[in-house]
Structure 1
Amino acid sequence: MTDDRSLPFWRTKTLEEMSKDEWESLCDGCGKCCLHKLRDEDTDEVHHTNVACRLLDLETCRCSEYATRFRKVPDCVSLSPALLREIDWLPPSCAYRLVREGKDLPFWHPLRSGSDESVHEAGISGRGRIVSERDAAMLEDHLVDWPGAPMTARQRQSRRK
């Protein structure tokens, strides 16, 4: 029999039971939730882009104005357990989604690895693959199919050049 006290908080608590600090620590810093999405009016299908909110730091994949983001971007989404039951656009790698689905965090998640860089090293984040909305024109020109997948070896190699 496993002692629940030896398990990490994300395996023993529901999202609703987590403290604010525990909730915030689930964010892996991939930056994918800050990418613009397009929803097809006819099919309701979500199409992902590689265009990031202007506040997203493209290197760290974290919000550069997190504490005051709603003043600068009023339609910024504030994730909550209730909202997670309604939205369908979080990538499959998202810790909030994984915990909601009763799954464990992957090896590259900073809570497991102990390093904020592990999400980038594993090719999960948007680092090297995203552009700021300030530099993008039409969102339709920036559709991608990678939001839930790690970078391929070829993508990592071309990023280093």
Structure 2
Amino acid sequence: MKQYTYMMLKPDAFQGNQPDAILKMMEDHGLCVESSQVVEVNMDVMKVLLEHYHQVIDDKGAVFNFPARLFHTFYFDGPHWIMPMKVSYTGSEDIIAYSRKLVGKTNPIEAAPGTIRGTFSHDNYDLADQENRLVNNVIHASDSIESAKRELEIWKMYLEK
């Protein structure tokens, strides 16, 4: 049975040949990018990103100031690109658990070798906090089927062909 999730390459993934290498790694693990688009982050895209991350914004609270860190990481000192992706998987494992295992831990220094973050990111929370930005961890992967459905809906304008 084909399963779907939402994934997104973040601005720091667009260095060197990382996008191609990341997509190849996903493909080598049986994940198929059904639709995607490379999008330059502008104010309209920032509005979508704010909607996408609204729960994180609420959870982190005013002191962490996620929106300011998001703007710093995804918008300022640009141009920056992201790549929203509708991803499918036909293997026997749950796509959410499978894709998140491949992606690795959110904090790249804790991500296992051979994971996407362990391979392509060398950032960490402490450095990001010192620089008042989000951690550069190259990729987002939905954390539940419900989140995947919500995120696919939010990003559908960039995923429909």
TM-score by length of 1: 0.28
More helix by proportion, 1 or 2?
A: 2
Structure with greater contact order relative to length (CA < 8 Å, sep ≥ 6): 2
More strand by proportion, 1 or 2?
A: 2
Which is greater in Rg? 1
TM-score by length of 2: 0.28
